[in-house]
Amino acid sequence: MSYISLSDRDKKEMLERIGVSSLEDLFRSVPDQVKLKRKLDLPPALTEPELLAWMGEMAGRNAYGGFLSFLGGGAYRHIIPVAVDHLSSRGEFVTPYTPYQPEISQGTLQVIFEFQTLVCQLAGMDVANASLYDGATASAEAVLMSNRLNNRTKILVARSLHPHYRRAIQTYTRNLGLELVEVGFTESGRLDAAGLKAKLDDRTAAVVCQSPNYFGVVEDFETIFGLAHGHQALSVAVVAEALSLGILEAPGRQGADIVAGEAQSFGLPLGFGGPYLGFMACAQGSVRQLPGRLAGLTSDLEGQRGFVLTLSTREQHIRREKATSNICTNQAWCALRATIFLETLGHDGLREMACQNIQKAHYALEQLTAVPGVKARFSGRPFNEFVLERPRKWAEADAALRKQNILAGVALEHDYPELKGCILVNVTEMHRREDIDRLAGALREALR
């Protein structure tokens, strides 16, 4: 099936009109030297039922459903209302390009406009863009943007920032003459304010800090950003668990100059890590340095309200090498899903969901630390994740849990050698009390 729509007669007549005698003739400009003289070495074509059978087999080779998972670490399992799937799967949302022709793209444009508004409301900022690739690249873009805004080159990055985001920041900045300096964490799991103070200076472009941080601990943004502003450095708040914004104070009200992060929690499935939803918001005054697309309000010939892409002089298709970012295709459809998700939950639903995460995380923390030998690693307050210190017998325990199809959490040693033996446990509104109790019970059993 190559999904072509021409009948045999069509092909014949069209070749005639063009004035060539075969399809081959159309490729005369491709030199023989670079022509492929054989068939591609790929499996023979599958029909639709065969394809679905094969894909079903692949999908079946992953752990889901039957597994009880407490994995988080930047990818969260949350409720997705049925309306999100139903509405986002409409062909009119799935199959258009970027809305370059606003007169026939009002749907997409108004959705982006609403998305921008929702992000601003949650982040407490003036302006938000139409999306970036994901949390890691949004963090990296925030760093680049800080540098553009104040021309400083030293970036202080919290060690408690998602390790993949840190790695991406490294990768992105390596070639641009920026200096990255890490700021550690204390026994509370929060950013080491003293260390921050020591490293802050007038070359500091930005302080990058995540809350809830990678350990699930809620940071004291106000203090941290206060320190940054003392040196006219910019405050970059990263939010990897966007749901927290439903209940925690908006970073914008705690002094953030740029808020960047990951909004996968808003209606996107785990999907083995993508597509997710990077977002970024900033103050009005910085909008010309903001990367990514923006939808704005305008009116038509007849004075009717309408929406268009705007301020595109920031973008690559106009400014080429002088653009604020090279991003072109973004994650628009993911932003659509987030918009449907947020409008379906509404103010009260979002708050309730966020509250349930806090309550359940606490319940889980209590139940799990009641297991002899298991301790909380940090004293800071968790949103929906926390780090447990594992007793020595853990390795066997882990195997025992695995046999019961339980994934207790993400092991931290690889990214944090200093946290050898620790795991990051995520609990959301999707975990029923009995799930948590099951984990605690299995752990108790395994560690006996």
Partner 1 sequence: MIREPLIFEISDKGKRAFRLPKLDVPFRKDLLSGYPVREEVEGFPQVSEVEVVRHFTRLSQTNYAVDIGFYPLGSCTMKYNPKVNDRAASLEGFTAAHPLAPAELVQGCLEVLKRTEEYLCEIAGMDAFTLQPAAGAHGELLGLMLIRARLTEKGNPRRTVLIPDSAHGTNPSSAHISGYQVRVINSDQNGRIDLADLDRAMTDEVAALMVTNPNTLGVFETDIKKIAGLVHSRGGFLYMDGANLNALTGISRPGDMDVDVIHINLHKTFSTPHGGGGPGSGPVGVKKVLEPYLPCPVVGRKDGRFVLEGDRPKSIGRVHSFHGNFLVVVKALAYILTLGPEGLREMAEVAVLNSNYIRRSLEGLYHLKYETPTLHECVFSDKLQKEHGVANIDIAKRLIDYGVHPPTMSFPLIVPGALMIEPTETEPRRDLDLFIQAMTSIAREAAENPELLKSAPHTSFVRRLDETAAARNPVLKWTGSVKPPQAR
Ligand X SMILES: Cc1ncc(COP(=O)(O)O)c(C=O)c1O
Q: Which parts of this chain interact with a copy of itself (CB under 8 A)?
A: 48-49, 52, 79, 81-82, 86, 89-91
Nearer to a copy of itself, 9 or 322 (CB): 9
Residue 77 binding result from partner 1, a copy of itself, ligand X, none, given CB thresholds of 5 to 8 Å by partner type: partner 1
Which of 10, 187, 396, 413 forms a contact with partner 1 (CB under 8 A)? 10
Helices 433-447 and 332-369, interaxial angle, to 10°? 50
Which of 197, 201, 203, 271 forms a contact with partner 1 (CB under 8 A)? 271
Does position 235 bind partner 1 by CB under 8 A? Answer: no
Q: Rounded to the nearest whole angstrom, what is the least distance from the CB of residue 90 to a copy of itself in the complex?
A: 7
Q: Rounded to the nearest whole angstrom, what is the least distance from the CB of residue 53 to partner 1 in the complex?
A: 9
Give strand pairing partners of 204.
154
Does position 285 bind partner 1 by CB under 8 A? Answer: no
For partner 1, the binding residues in 87-116 under the rule CB under 8 A are 87, 89-108, 110-114, 116
How far apart (Å, rounded) are the C-alpha atoms in residues 389 and 438? 19
Is residue 411 within 8 Å of residue 70, measured between CB atoms?
Answer: no
Give the tokens for residue 11.
């092909």
Q: Rounded to the nearest whole angstrom, what is the least distance from the CB of residue 409 to partner 1 in the complex?
A: 9
Query: How far from 90 is each of 93, 95, 104, CA to CA, in Å?
Result: 6, 9, 16
Nearest Cα neighbor of 217 from 192, 198, 234, 253 is: 192
Query: How far from 101 is each of 96, 108, 224, 261, 299, CA to CA, in Å?
Result: 10, 11, 44, 29, 14
Which of 118, 155, 209, 234 forms a contact with partner 1 (CB under 8 A)? 118
Q: Rounded to the nearest whole angstrom, what is the least distance from the CB of residue 323 to ligand X in the complex?
A: 12
Nearer to partner 1, 206 or 327 (CB): 327
Does position 327 bind partner 1 by CB under 8 A? Answer: yes
| Interaction mask 162-191, partner 1, x per CB under 8 A | x-xx-xx-xxx-xxxx--------------
Is residue 138 within 8 Å of residue 278, measured between CB atoms?
Answer: yes
CA Rg value for the chain: 25
Nearer to partner 1, 187 or 201 (CB): 187
Count residues binding partner 1 (CB under 8 A): 211
Nearer to ligand X, 104 or 328 (CB): 328
Nearer to a copy of itself, 93 or 363 (CB): 93
Strand order in the sheet with 154-158: 127-128, 278-282, 258-262, 234-239, 204-210, 154-158, 179-183
Does position 23 bind partner 1 by CB under 8 A? Answer: yes
Is residue 131 within 8 Å of residue 279, measured between CB atoms?
Answer: yes
Residue 6 binding result from partner 1, ligand X, a copy of itself, none, given CB thresholds of 5 to 8 Å by partner type: partner 1
Does position 73 bind partner 1 by CB under 8 A? Answer: yes
How far apart (Å, rounded) are the C-alpha atoms in residues 205 and 43? 52
Give the tokens for residue 13.
């007549």
Residue appearing with tokens 């889901």: 64
Binding site for ligand X (CB under 6 A): 328-329
